[in-house]
Amino acid sequence: MNSSRRIKLQVFRVVVFVVMGAFFITPLIAMFEFSTRGNGENAPRTLEAWASIFKTPDMVDAITASLQLAAITSIAMLILLLPTMVWVRLRLPRLNRIVEFICLLPLTVPAIALVVGLRPIYVWININVTDSILALAFAYVVLVLPYAYRSLDAGLAAIDIKTLSEAARSLGAGWLTVMWRVIVPNMSSAILNACLLSVALVLGEYTVANLLNFENLQVAIAYVGLVSAGTSVAVALASLVFAFVLLMVISFIGRRRTPSLAAAGTDPQYLTAGQRT
Amino acid sequence: MSTTSTETRARSGVEVRLEDLRKVYSGVTALDGLSLTIGQGELVALLGPSGCGKTTAMRLVAGLEEANGGRVVIGGQDVTNLGANKREIGMVFQAYSLFPHMTATQNVEFGLQLHKVGVDERRKRAREMLDLVGLSAHSNKYASQMSGGQQQRVALARALAIQPKVLLLDEPLSALDARVRARLRDEIRRVQLEVGITTLFVTHDQEEALAIADRVGVMNRGRLEQLGPPTAIYSRPATPFVAEFVGLTNRLEGNVRNGEVEVRGVRLPLVKPDTADGPATALIRPEAVSLGSDGDAGGGALVGTVIAVSFLGATSRVTVDLGDVILLAQMPTSQASDHPAGSRVRLTLRPDPVLIARDEKAAAEA
Domain with CATH 2.40.50.100 in chain B: 248-365
Q: Computed over its alpha carbons, how large is the radius of gyration of chain A? A: 23
Residues B34 and B20: beta-carbon distance below 8 Å:
yes
Q: How many CB atoms lie within 10 A of CB A162?
A: 16
Cβ contacts of A182 on chain B, cutoff 8 Å: 99
Predicted local confidence at residue B361, as pLDDT: 45
Cβ distance A260 to B144 less than 8 Å, yes or no, reads yes
What's the rounded mean pLDDT across residues B219-239? 90
pLDDT confidence tier of residue B359, bands split at 50, 70 and 90: low
Chain center to CA of B68: 26
| Domains contained in chain A, number | 1
Q: Side by side, which strands form the sheet with B215-220? A: B89-92, B166-170, B198-203, B43-47, B215-220, B223-228
**Contact status of A166 with chain B (Cβ, < 8 Å):** yes
- b/e A145-156 (16+ beta carbons within 10 angstroms → b): bbbbbbbbbebb
- Per DSSP, the three-state class of B174 is coil
Q: Can you tell me the distance from the alpha carbon of B67 to that of B45, in angstroms, rounded to the nearest whole number?
A: 21
Residue of A nearest to B95 (CA): A163
Residue B35 identity (one-letter amino acid): S
Residues A169 and B64: beta-carbon distance below 8 Å:
yes
Of residues A197, A161, A192, the one with CA closest to residue A255? A192
Residue of B nearest to A172 (CA): B85
Best mutation target, A170, A184, A191, A258, to test chain B (most B CBs within 10 A): A170
Mean pLDDT lowest for which of A118-122, B37-41, B289-293, B298-302? B298-302
- Per DSSP, the three-state class of A178 is helix
Q: Does the reported pTM lie above 0.90?
A: no
CATH of B248-365 given 3.40.50.1980, 1.10.150.120, 2.40.50.100, 3.20.20.70: 2.40.50.100
Residues B160 and B90: beta-carbon distance below 8 Å:
yes
Q: Can you tell me the distance from the alpha carbon of B142 to that of B96, in angstroms, rounded to the nearest whole number?
A: 12
With a cut of 70, say whether residue B36 has pLDDT above it: yes
Of residues B223, B202, B253, B242, the one with CA closest to residue B59? B202
Q: Which domain holds residue A115?
A: 58-257
In a domain, residue A35? The reply is no
Start-end of H helices in chain B: 3-12, 54-62, 104-114, 119-132, 148-161, 178-195, 206-212, 230-235, 240-245, 333-336, 360-365
**Contact status of B97 with chain A (Cβ, < 8 Å):** yes
In a domain, residue A232? The reply is yes
Mention every residue, 6+ apart, whose C-beta is less than 8 A from residue B365.
Answer: none
Cβ contacts of B86 on chain A, cutoff 8 Å: 172
Sign of CA dihedral B24, B25, B29, B33: negative
Q: Side by side, which strands form the sheet with B289-292? A: B289-292, B344-349, B303-311, B315-321, B326-332
Residue of B nearest to A160 (CA): B97
Residues A268 and A276: beta-carbon distance below 8 Å:
yes
SS3 helix, strand, coil % of chain A, rounded to 5? 80, 0, 20
Q: How many CB atoms lie within 10 A of CB A180?
A: 12
Q: How many CB atoms lie within 10 A of CB A5?
A: 9
Nearest Cα of chain B lies from the Cα of A257 at a distance, in angstroms, of 9
**B163: region left, alpha or beta (phi > 0 left; psi from -120 to 50 alpha):** left
Start-end of H helices in A207-228: 207-211, 217-227
Cβ distance A166 to B93 less than 8 Å, yes or no, reads yes
Distance (Å) of CA A21 to CA A17, A25, A250: 6, 6, 22
Cβ distance B140 to A266 less than 8 Å, yes or no, reads yes
Q: Can you tell me the distance from the alpha carbon of B196 to that of B14, in angstroms, rounded to the nearest whole number?
A: 10
Nearest Cα of chain A lies from the Cα of B333 at a distance, in angstroms, of 45
Predicted local confidence at residue A270, as pLDDT: 33
Residue A29 CB burial class (10 angstroms; 0-12, 13-18, ≥19): exposed
Q: Side by side, which strands form the sheet with B250-257? A: B266-269, B260-263, B250-257, B278-284, B355-357
**Contact status of A168 with chain B (Cβ, < 8 Å):** yes
Predicted local confidence at residue A256, as pLDDT: 60
**Contact status of B162 with chain A (Cβ, < 8 Å):** yes
Predicted local confidence at residue A275, as pLDDT: 32
Interface of B with A in 196-215 (CB under 8 A): none
How many Cβ contacts (< 8 angstroms) between chains A and B?
83
Kindly report, residue by residue over B115-140, the tens digit of the pLDDT.
999 999 999 999 999 988 888 899 99
Residue of A nearest to B116 (CA): A172
Q: Can you tell me the distance from the alpha carbon of B331 to that of B363, in angstroms, rounded to the nearest whole number?
A: 34
Q: Can you tell me the distance from the alpha carbon of A52 to that of A60, in angstroms, rounded to the nearest whole number?
A: 11
Q: Can you tell me the distance from the alpha carbon of A84 to that of A152, in angstroms, rounded to the nearest whole number?
A: 11
Predicted local confidence at residue B181, as pLDDT: 84
Cβ contacts of A185 on chain B, cutoff 8 Å: 99, 101
Nearest Cα of chain A lies from the Cα of B105 at a distance, in angstroms, of 13
Cβ distance A259 to B140 less than 8 Å, yes or no, reads no
Of residues B84, B46, B327, B100, the one with CA closest to residue B212? B46
Domain of residue A92, CATH code: 1.10.3720.10
Mean pLDDT lowest for which of A218-222, B36-40, B146-150? A218-222
**Contact status of A268 with chain B (Cβ, < 8 Å):** no
Predicted local confidence at residue B6, as pLDDT: 40
Kindly report, residue by residue over B49-105, the tens digit of the pLDDT.
988 999 999 999 999 999 999 999 999 999 999 999 999 999 999 988 999 999 999
Domain with CATH 3.40.50.300 in chain B: 3-240
Residues in chain B: 366
Cβ distance A163 to B93 less than 8 Å, yes or no, reads yes
Residues A141 and A80: beta-carbon distance below 8 Å:
yes
Q: How many CB atoms lie within 10 A of CB A242?
A: 16
With a cut of 50, say whether residue B177 has pLDDT above it: yes
Strand partners, B356: B282
Predicted local confidence at residue B358, as pLDDT: 67
With a cut of 50, say whether residue B351 has pLDDT above it: yes
- Phi and psi at residue B341, in whole multiples of 5°? -60, 135
Residue A123 CB burial class (10 angstroms; 0-12, 13-18, ≥19): exposed
Cβ distance B84 to A166 less than 8 Å, yes or no, reads yes
Q: Which residues of chain A have pLDDT under 70?
A: 1, 254-277
Cβ distance B89 to A169 less than 8 Å, yes or no, reads no
Q: Does domain B3-240 have CATH number 3.40.190.10?
A: no
Predicted local confidence at residue A260, as pLDDT: 45
Kindly report, residue by residue over A80-130, the tens digit of the pLDDT.
999 999 999 998 989 999 999 999 999 888 888 888 888 888 888 888 888
Predicted local confidence at residue A267, as pLDDT: 37
